[in-house]
């Protein structure tokens, strides 16, 4: 690509308004904050310094990462800790021109170690409200069920969410995918849908195309998280295109978790070429070495992506969001106007 086109791509990535649709707030816990919270809460962590923590972030697969991720969130005890975590992420996202976030949290990762549901969600929501007031970032909160736990635990979590239900936009499904198909949670997602909640699920990150079919047919998802392995099944790709499903792709996550061997294997360009509404997201940025613009830059260079594709990806992040249609339209106009100024 010419230097001019490269320059334009870099500017578009920096300056286009974006939404982030796949972000685990616990996965935005930077080692510096982990140490600060460990000290504040008088918790021992098995690392001497930040460099040692970063060196431990060398994963062969999803489970390798999850073991460290659940250990890391052990420093979150007080409502203030969840607030600090959320504000730190929003400040970082703001620097990338992220204007809207739909973030996940894992209540069972906290309640199972004795932290109340209210402590976790109370701190996160206070952070999100402050972020909207101070940084102008709109938000939706998505509560995830941990799929390695059982259906009863998910039902129990949904019950604990009841007093907060108006502040929860949707339900997601995350954690260890292999051996825990979406169908395991069909009934509890049915109950969530009956409450008017949006539905998303991690599917096809490590799991087979069948898990993506189940997410569509049994959970009736409004959006698919990752979805990489859907590309192995032509009929499934056609279904995703026909339904207009958005896929939240996470390139640096895929690389760090060995879903792909090199960044040029990211499926995001192929997805766009097939007519899939792909988006770019950071997943667990503190663990995978990059926030949303780092993810954009990595694939823009490696695949490469054209300036037009960068604009499409930014637009998809809003059209695939749970914002009302008028707000989506407003954001798309802003994208067109920034793109026009830059071109
Ligand atoms: N929890 C946090 N990040 C995750 C990922 N990439 N896949 C599944 N569960 C997760
Ligand atoms: Zn994820």
Give CA–CA dist 83/203, Å, rounded: 29
CA angle 97, 99, 100 (to 5 degrees): 140
Q: Which residues are catalytic?
A: 205
Show Cβ contacts of residue 129 under 8 Å, excluding neighbours closer than 6 positions: none
Work out which ligand 1 atom sits closest to the CA atom of 144.
Answer: 1
Work out which ligand 1 atom sits closest to the CA atom of 106.
Answer: 1
How far is ligand 2, taken at its centre, from the CA of residue 337, in Å? Answer: 31
Mind giving me the DSSP string for 69-81?
HHHHGGG--SHHH
User: 26 near 69, Cβ under 8 Å?
Assistant: yes
Residue 162, Cβ density class (10 Å: 0-12 exposed, 13-18 middle, ≥19 buried): exposed
The pLDDT of residue 5 is 85
- The answer, yes or no, to whether any atom of ligand 1 lies below 6 A from the CB of 174, is yes
The pLDDT of residue 1 is 58
Q: Give the H/E segment covering residue 229.
A: none
Strand partners, 225: 202, 248
Q: Ligand 1 atom 10: the closest Cα is on which residue?
A: 175
Strand partners, 142: 104, 170
Show Cβ contacts of residue 173 under 8 Å, excluding neighbours closer than 6 positions: 144, 145, 147, 182, 185, 189, 200, 201, 202, 203, 215, 219
pTM of the model: 0.98
- The answer, yes or no, to whether any atom of ligand 1 lies below 6 A from the CB of 175, is yes
- Token digits of residue 194: 């009956």
Peptide bond into 285 cis (omega under 30): no
H runs (alpha helix) in the chain: 3-15, 31-40, 50-56, 62-72, 79-95, 107-111, 117-135, 151-160, 186-194, 209-214, 234-243, 251-256, 268-274, 285-288, 292-302, 307-319, 325-342
Under DSSP, is residue 29 helix (H, G, I), strand (E, B) or coil? Answer: coil
- Token digits of residue 186: 């069909």
Q: Tell me the best of 89, 283, 288 to mutate to test the pocket of ligand 1, counting ligand atoms within 8 Å of each CB and taking the most.
A: 283
- The answer, yes or no, to whether any atom of ligand 1 lies below 6 A from the CB of 147, is no
The pLDDT of residue 30 is 98
Ligand 2 is a single-atom ion; what residues have CB below 5 A from it? 283
- The answer, yes or no, to whether any atom of ligand 1 lies below 6 A from the CB of 283, is yes
Under DSSP, is residue 61 helix (H, G, I), strand (E, B) or coil? Answer: coil
Work out which ligand 1 atom sits closest to the CA atom of 284.
Answer: 3
- The answer, yes or no, to whether any atom of ligand 1 lies below 6 A from the CB of 27, is yes
Q: Ligand 1 atom 1: the closest Cα is on which residue?
A: 175
The pLDDT of residue 310 is 98
Using 70 as the pLDDT threshold, list the residues of the chain that sit under it. Answer: 1
| CA dist list (Å): 270 to 134, 267, 275 | 38, 5, 9
How far is ligand 1, taken at its centre, from the CA of residue 172, in Å? Answer: 11
Mind giving me the DSSP string for 171-194?
EEEES--TT--GGGGHHHHHHHHH
- The answer, yes or no, to whether any atom of ligand 1 lies below 6 A from the CB of 74, is no
Q: Ligand 1 atom 6: the closest Cα is on which residue?
A: 283
Give CA–CA dist 271/118, Å, rounded: 39
Under DSSP, is residue 122 helix (H, G, I), strand (E, B) or coil? Answer: helix
Give CA–CA dist 127/123, Å, rounded: 6
User: 102 near 63, Cβ under 8 Å?
Assistant: no
User: For the chain, what's the residue count?
Assistant: 343
């Amino acid at each position: 690509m010419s230097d001019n086109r490269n320059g334009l791509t870099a500017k578009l990535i920096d300056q286009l308004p974006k939404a982030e649709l796949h972000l685990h707030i616990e996965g935005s816990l930077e080692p510096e904050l982990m140490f600060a919270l460990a000290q504040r809460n008088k918790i021992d962590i098995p690392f001497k310094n930040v460099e040692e923590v970063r060196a431990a972030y060398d994963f062969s697969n999803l489970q390798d990462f999850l073991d460290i991720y659940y250990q890391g969130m052990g420093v979150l005890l007080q409502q203030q800790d969840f607030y600090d975590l959320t504000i730190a992420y929003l400040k970082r996202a703001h620097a990338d021109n992220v204007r809207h976030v739909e973030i996940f949290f894992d209540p069972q990762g906290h309640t199972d170690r004795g932290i109340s549901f209210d402590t976790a969600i109370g701190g996160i929501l206070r952070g999100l409200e402050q972020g909207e007031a101070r940084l102008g970032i709109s938000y939706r909160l998505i509560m995830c069920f941990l799929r390695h736990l059982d259906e009863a635990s998910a039902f129990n979590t949904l019950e604990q969410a009841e007093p907060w239900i108006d502040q929860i936009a949707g339900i997601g499904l995350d954690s260890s995918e292999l051996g825990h198909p979406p169908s395991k949670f069909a009934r509890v997602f049915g109950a969530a849908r009956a409450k008017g909640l949006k539905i998303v699920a991690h599917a096809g990150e490590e799991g087979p195309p069948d898990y993506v079919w189940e997410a569509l047919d049994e959970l009736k998802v409004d959006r698919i998280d990752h979805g990489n392995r859907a590309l192995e099944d032509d009929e499934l790709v056609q279904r995703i295109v026909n339904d207009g499903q958005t896929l939240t792709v996470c390139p640096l996550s895929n690389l760090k978790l060995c879903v792909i061997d090199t960044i040029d294997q990211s499926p995001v360009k192929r997805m766009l070429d097939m007519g899939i509404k792909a988006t770019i997201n950071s997943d667990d940025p503190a663990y995978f070495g990059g926030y949303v613009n780092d993810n954009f830059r990595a694939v823009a260079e490696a695949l490469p992506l054209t300036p037009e594709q960068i604009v499409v990806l930014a637009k998809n992040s809003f059209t695939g969001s749970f914002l009302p249609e008028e707000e989506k339209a407003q954001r798309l106009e802003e994208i067109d106007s920034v793109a026009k100024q830059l071109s």
